[in-house]
Amino acid sequence: MPNSKSKAQASSWTIEDAERTYGVSSWGGGYFTIGDNGNVKVLPDHNKPNVKIDFEAIIAEIRQEKIQFPVVIRFHDVLRSQVITLNETFNEVIAEAKYKGQYNGVYPIKVNQMREVVEEIVDAGAPYDFGLEAGSKPELLAVLAYNTNENSLTILNGYKDEEFIRLALMGRKLGRKVVVVIEKFSELVMLIRVSKELGIEPIVGLRSKMQSKGQGRWQGSSGERAKFGLTIAEVIKAAQLLEAEGLKHTLKLLHFHIGSQLPDIRAIKDAVNESARIYAELHKLGFNMEYVDVGGGLGIDYDGSQSTNDSSRNYSLREYVADVVYGLREMCDLENVPHPNIVTESGRAITAHHSCVVTEVVGEIKPEGADIDTSATENEHILLKNMREIHNHLSDSTNLQEAFNDASQWKEQASQAFKLRVISLVEMGKIETLYWQIMRFVQAAYKDADFIPEDLQGLDYSLSSQYLCNFSIFQSAVDSWAIGQLLPVTPLVGLNKKPVKNCSLVDITCDSDGKIDQFVVDHAVSDIIPLPAFSENEKCYLGMFLTGAYQDVMGDMHNLFGRLNEVHIFSHDDDPEDFYIEEVIKGTTVEQVLSIMQYHPSAMAIDVKRSIDKEVAAGKIPPREGVKWTDFYEDCLAGYTYLRTAD
Ligand SMILES: *Cc1c(COP(=O)(O)O)cnc(C)c1O
């Protein structure tokens, strides 16, 4: 009774199975979990374990508000919680280590410059005097307006022109602790000149090119070929120049940044050690520096493996903090110099968890497309007969490898024969249908086998469906395309039911790169992910998580798909669903994306109306219908760039 067996299997699927399959707790950082009802839940605040927000309730409210998918959901509490956790961890470790300096962290806004994000971080960080970092003139303009706390640092990295430096000195005039970090020697010459001209003393930082190499994707950020920073010789020259100009006391900070998403803690320890030596030596030369800035690089465990994979990290936040604090303490004590204040520029670690993209599956692309009637007709080609022969004799005793080999070969030959006009279109269609049926049989026969021959191992992938999802990878998950970054994907509701389909995902751009076929499933990287069956009637919402760092702001308008509708969520203990939507930010309209590309949408609407009027005047379109077409064109211009799906 095969039926009762499959029923038993279905009912034996548990939340633990779902957890193992999708790894939600492994990458969720304590913020995401699968609830007993099978829905993904958000635990926005580690200090309030009873506050749990159910994605089903969020989706229901988004639909009720008639906000179109795909949407970005921002959990402001998660952002706040990350800021607090980072600061508290540093403060705890500093106290425990009896470290004499303080922690003065900054948030590098390039990781997510959204005003709401920056404001939330500044607000949550206020009790800790948490500051901001800018790496360009536009970012500096934003930071000058938003980091108004006189006790927090404003750190300026990146290449600078004279305007940049004037703005920095203007910040000094406003009483802010603006540190100009010298990336290139000539910047220091300019800084000294402008500062003397304006009569405003700078706070100077030096970025040192480290010998210690970060690992992972950004290892080019250190070493001799690094794009930024001063060599040891330049550090010495810079210090000497400051001294000669009577500005010795303005050199306050030593900076390094050996790359983002550092997978291996050893690289961090190494770099901290190296920077502590430089700091100590400069101190001994009479430069009383106050800060060592260890840059960014604090990683995120995107794949939940706690490993040195590029998408993971082999350390915890606490371990990272301890290595920085104890590393600096040890070297400074050996060198007999004061413990510096510690600056970090963690961006990814603060922002990654706070946002996710929710998209709907809008279609299924099966490898075989459709089945057609394969019954035999007279005089059909021998290749078709051969294929049917294999198909009709499939049984428990079939030699599966042989069936696979033969069918693959017949199909290849058939495709040649078709091009040579030897077999007809209908014959080719039948051959394809039979071929896929044979492959499905072979796959099913190997389903629970311990050993699968090498040739057949790709069958699960080649027979898997592609789920078409209403989003653009280039807008919403650009690193997944650009650098093969893994981002966790999971269904948001119904995880208490056994997923029945293995699929990869494709987006709605006209670009074959617009796909995701790298997932973490059962703790391993897989090209397919098990998902619920696709049905036209029941919506399947997928969440793409950890998109708050870089992805939110680096996306582009490939195919003119614009920014997403955004829903900002705050937790609220007294609310029956534990949350409320605080703000909705409309995504880009078609008009807006066209305008960016230099079109004039209102003129276009007039042109199209004119064409319609002409057809109406010629009697080819009835006037009422003409008005409808005109309105329709205008509505679409004002509308969302993504697919409109039925409610
Ligand atoms: C990008 C960058 C950061 C942020 O790094 P994360 O790994 O995201 O924390 C910090 N500092 C500098 C100089 C950067 O360029």
Paired sense of beta strands 40-42 and 32-34, if any: antiparallel
Evaluate whether the domain defined by 382-460 bears CATH number 1.10.10: no
281 CA from centroid of ligand 1 (Å): 26
**Contact 295 CB / ligand 1 (< 6 Å):** yes
Q: DSSP label at 382? A: H
Structure tokens at 579: 């949350």
* Residue 2: pLDDT band with limits 50, 70, 90: very low
- Please write the tens of the pLDDT for every residue from 49-78: 899 999 999 999 999 999 999 999 999 999
| Choice from 155, 257, 552 to test ligand 1 binding pocket (greatest atom count within 8 A of CB) | 257
596 CA from centroid of ligand 1 (Å): 29
Q: Could you tell me which residues are beta bridge partners of residue 365?
A: 466
Residue reference for tokens 């509505």: 635
| Choice from 345, 547, 552 to test ligand 1 binding pocket (greatest atom count within 8 A of CB) | 345
The span from the CA of 282 to the CA of 287, in Å, is: 6
Structure tokens at 4: 């009762």
Report the atom number in ligand 1 closest to the C-alpha of 262.
7
414: enclosing H helix or E strand: helix 400-419
565 CA from centroid of ligand 1 (Å): 27
Residue 9 confidence (pLDDT): 52
Assess contact for 523 and 20: CB atoms under 8 A: yes
Q: What are phi and psi of 58, to 5 degrees?
A: -65, -50
Q: What is the dihedral of CA 387, 393, 396, 400, to 10 degrees?
A: -30
| Average pLDDT over all residues of the chain | 94
Assess contact for 488 and 22: CB atoms under 8 A: yes
348 CA from centroid of ligand 1 (Å): 8
Q: DSSP label at 208? A: B
**Which residues, in sequence order, are CB contacts of 420 under 8 Å at separation 6+?**
none
Instruction: Indicate if the pLDDT at residue 613 is higher than 80.
Output: yes
Question: 262's torsion region: left (phi>0), alpha (psi -120 to 50) or beta?
Answer: beta
**Contact 44 CB / ligand 1 (< 6 Å):** no
Residue 3 confidence (pLDDT): 42
First to last CA, the chain: 40
- Please write the tens of the pLDDT for every residue from 521-535: 999 999 999 999 999
Q: For the whole model, what pTM was predicted?
A: 0.94
Question: 216's torsion region: left (phi>0), alpha (psi -120 to 50) or beta?
Answer: left
**Contact 414 CB / ligand 1 (< 6 Å):** no
Q: DSSP label at 155? A: E
- Please write the tens of the pLDDT for every residue from 331-357: 999 999 999 999 999 999 999 999 999
The span from the CA of 69 to the CA of 470, in Å, is: 7
- Please write the tens of the pLDDT for every residue from 183-231: 999 999 999 999 999 999 999 999 999 887 776 777 777 777 778 899 9
Residue 217 confidence (pLDDT): 73
Reduced to 3 states (helix: H, G, I; strand: E, B; else coil), residue 184 is coil
Overall average pLDDT of the 378-394 stretch: 95
Closest CA relative to residue 105, chosen from 289, 296, 330: 296
- Please write the tens of the pLDDT for every residue from 14-44: 999 999 999 999 999 999 999 999 999 999 9
Evaluate whether the domain defined by 101-345 bears CATH number 3.20.20.10: yes
- Output the CA angle 387-389-391, nearest 5 degrees: 70
Q: Could you tell me which residues are beta bridge partners of residue 478?
A: none
